[in-house]
A and B are shown apart, each in its own frame.
Chain A
Amino acid sequence: MNEQAIIAAAQKGDVNAYNRLVVAYQELAYNVAYRVLGNSDRAADATQDSFLRGYKALGDFRGGSFKSWILRIVTNSCYDQLRVMRRRPTTPIDDLLEDDEHSSLMEDHSESPEDYVERRELDGVVQTALNTLPEDQRIVVVLSDIQGYSYDEIAQITSVSLGTVKSRLSRGRAKMRDYLVAHREQLPVSVRL
């Protein structure tokens, strides 16, 4: 069954069909949310909320790319989460335990311990650098440089003009570059700027 047929079935209320779409896109959605929010629990909440909203709003889906459509919902959920975080700037206890708890999920038994350590270092530095960006620039940098979307797709997902995408990406990348150059010693040797 192709994606259009699955979407059509889901639009009729078939929750199993919709779950097939969830399984196909949940990791992508979670990674976008995680890079934007910088917190695994909040990212998981935002992802769950996005797919729930998507199911309820599936009647409004008028064709096109389902991936772009669901990512638009994810970015909106991220904005909501960021608003909540601004209102209640507390550090959940889960954040303190996150690394230990989540490290097992990041384990890949096929890689060497050195590679694993390097990957974790890179992950940490990238996330710290992203957290220094303003929210609008962060979302554009995540969609462009981490997820590899084109300018047009990003404009669709974020509902802004192409010019805005270009300027946000230009400023965001410049800030990322400045941060990574300034903290090059924290980066793995193989990827230092």
Chain B
Amino acid sequence: MSRSSQVNTREHRFTAERLCAFLDGELSIKDARRVDEHLATCVECQREMTQLRATVDLLRRSPVRPIPRSCTLPPSMQSEQARHRRWNTAYAVMRGGMVAVAAMLVLSLSVDTAFRTGLVQLPSEAPAASAKDYGVMAQQSEGVVVTQVVEKIVEREVEANVETELDGEAEGVVEGEPIAALAAPAAEPNSEGEAEGVSSLAVPSLKQAESPAPSDTVGAGSPQEGVREALPEASTESEGGSEPQAEALALPVVRSEQPPATAVAPAEAPAQPEPAVDVAAVQPVSEPQGRGAAWAVWETARLLLGVLVGLLLVLAAGLLWAGQKRRA
């Protein structure tokens, strides 16, 4: 093949590919000149060009068809659209809320996990608490609450005893009677009623009693000893039946500052209805010293987790509802 025919073939292909754009004036000046030069010499391309132009002319002459029916919207569409927009907005708000809550949930989970694994240790006065310490702290808080409840029961019983004694003296009661009357209640701590009540309160601290108590948080003496001092009847009068109760009452922190004499008082308490102990009235447990900031953040993260999960569920339900309304 000669050089001139090769050039001609290349130009022919170039022009054939661009005839359409050339016809519409969509080629660059340089390409348009090149196509124009080839068209002047190539009969085949001239014919194609003529046919393409005729095709476009014919299509441009194709008749316009009148629309068979009007597409205008009824006036009722206005209120429907307003309703649709309201649901659209509600849907968007729900969706945004879900995204925000999900992000906060992830953040809270991260904070919680970071504290649990000990990745994050906030600066504090005392050495930062390790992950193990946080577990102990949680158990301690439960144990301290139980101890306080027990203390409150003991205090109320002592008060009741004092009042009863005073009443007995004033009314001239025989000395033997209160003792006999008090004999039954003295044994009662060993009976199932109260023992169960106490042990049920002390259930969270069972694990704590089994595990060695941290020395820095527990006061003087072992927890078992502290409880035995506070509740002698429960631990000493019946060795066999009350052993599990004594164990159950083995609390990590005993804040009883009552002297042993007052601790005996429950045995003398009359068989009167047990005064209800308001657990909520118990003072909140203060966190261990030096862990204030870390403790607060961790507790807040845990609280936030629950709230966020609830909120997420509510938003998911709302999203489904708004989505259905929007589609309707």
Q: Which residues of A contact B (CB under 8 A)?
A: 13-16, 18-19, 22-23, 26-27, 29-31, 34-35, 40-41, 44, 47-48, 51-52, 55-56, 59, 102, 105-106, 119-120, 122-123, 126, 141, 144-146, 148, 151, 166, 169-170, 173-174, 176-177, 180-181, 187, 191, 193
* A15-B81, A30-B67, A177-B51 given; A145·B20 CB < 8 A: no
Q: How far is the CB of B75 from chain A (nearest CB, A)?
A: 6
Please name all residues of chain A whose beta carbon is closer than 8 Å to the beta carbon of B57 when the two chains form the complex: 191
Please name all residues of chain A whose beta carbon is closer than 8 Å to the beta carbon of B58 when the two chains form the complex: 122, 126, 180, 187, 191, 193
* A22 contact from B26, B56, B71, Cβ within 8 A: B71
Please name all residues of chain B whose beta carbon is closer than 8 Å to the beta carbon of A102 when the two chains form the complex: 65, 68
Residue of A nearest to B72 (CB): A19
Which residues of B16-62 are within 8 A (CB) of A?
A: 17, 19-21, 24, 26, 51-52, 54-62
Residue of B nearest to A27 (CB): B67
Residue of A nearest to B88 (CB): A59
In the bound complex, do residue A15 and residue B67 qualify as a contact, i.e. CB atoms below 8 Å apart? Answer: no
Say whether B3 faces chain A, with CB atoms less than 8 Å apart.
no
In the bound complex, do residue B62 and residue A170 qualify as a contact, i.e. CB atoms below 8 Å apart? Answer: no
Task: Report the number of A-B residue pairs with Cβ-Cβ less than 8 Å.
Answer: 121
Inter-chain CA distance A13–B63, complex, in Å, is 35
Q: How far is the CB of A185 from chain B (nearest CB, A)?
A: 14
| A-B CB contact pairs (8 Å), 22 listed | A15-B81, A18-B73, A22-B70, A26-B70, A29-B71, A35-B62, A41-B68, A55-B77, A55-B81, A106-B63, A106-B66, A123-B65, A146-B60, A151-B24, A151-B26, A166-B26, A169-B20, A174-B52, A176-B59, A177-B52, A177-B55, A191-B54
Q: How far is the CB of B101 from chain A (nearest CB, A)?
A: 26
Please name all residues of chain B whose beta carbon is closer than 8 Å to the beta carbon of A187 when the two chains form the complex: 58
Inter-chain CA distance A59–B82, complex, in Å, is 12
Please name all residues of chain A whose beta carbon is closer than 8 Å to the beta carbon of B52 when the two chains form the complex: 173-174, 177
Inter-chain CA distance A12–B21, complex, in Å, is 42
Which residues of B162-197 are within 8 A (CB) of A?
A: none
Q: How far is the CB of B43 from chain A (nearest CB, A)?
A: 17
Please name all residues of chain B whose beta carbon is closer than 8 Å to the beta carbon of A27 when the two chains form the complex: 64, 66-67
* A166-B26, A180-B58 given; A31·B65 CB < 8 A: yes
* A22-B71, A30-B67, A34-B65 given; A193·B54 CB < 8 A: yes
* A47 contact from B63, B67, B84, Cβ within 8 A: B67
Inter-chain CA distance A47–B69, complex, in Å, is 10
Apart from A18-B73, A31-B65, A170-B17, 8 more pairs, CB < 8 Å: A26-B67, A51-B71, A106-B66, A122-B61, A123-B65, A126-B59, A176-B59, A180-B58
In the bound complex, do residue B59 and residue A141 qualify as a contact, i.e. CB atoms below 8 Å apart? Answer: yes
In the bound complex, do residue A173 and residue B63 qualify as a contact, i.e. CB atoms below 8 Å apart? Answer: no
* A22-B71, A51-B73 given; A105·B55 CB < 8 A: no
Please name all residues of chain B whose beta carbon is closer than 8 Å to the beta carbon of A105 when the two chains form the complex: 65-66, 68
Residue of B nearest to A162 (CB): B26
Please name all residues of chain A whose beta carbon is closer than 8 Å to the beta carbon of B67 when the two chains form the complex: 26-27, 30, 44, 47
- Most A CB within 10 A of own CB, among B26, B63, B67, B78: B67
In the bound complex, do residue B51 and residue A166 qualify as a contact, i.e. CB atoms below 8 Å apart? Answer: no
In the bound complex, do residue B68 and residue A55 qualify as a contact, i.e. CB atoms below 8 Å apart? Answer: no
Residue of B nearest to A51 (CB): B71
In the bound complex, do residue A55 and residue B73 qualify as a contact, i.e. CB atoms below 8 Å apart? Answer: yes
Residue of A nearest to B56 (CB): A145
Q: How far is the CB of A81 from chain B (nearest CB, A)?
A: 15
Residue of B nearest to A144 (CB): B24
In the bound complex, do residue A15 and residue B75 qualify as a contact, i.e. CB atoms below 8 Å apart? Answer: yes
In order of increasing CB-CB distance, the 4 nearest A-B pairs are A145-B59, A170-B20, A30-B67, A19-B72
Inter-chain CA distance A51–B52, complex, in Å, is 34
Digit string of B239-262 for contact with A (CB within 8 Å is 1, else 0)? Answer: 000000000000000000000000
Please name all residues of chain A whose beta carbon is closer than 8 Å to the beta carbon of B81 when the two chains form the complex: 13, 15, 55-56
Inter-chain CA distance A117–B52, complex, in Å, is 25
Inter-chain CA distance A26–B60, complex, in Å, is 19
In the bound complex, do residue B71 and residue A48 qualify as a contact, i.e. CB atoms below 8 Å apart? Answer: yes
Residue of A nearest to B57 (CB): A191
* A19-B73, A22-B72, A170-B21 given; A180·B55 CB < 8 A: yes
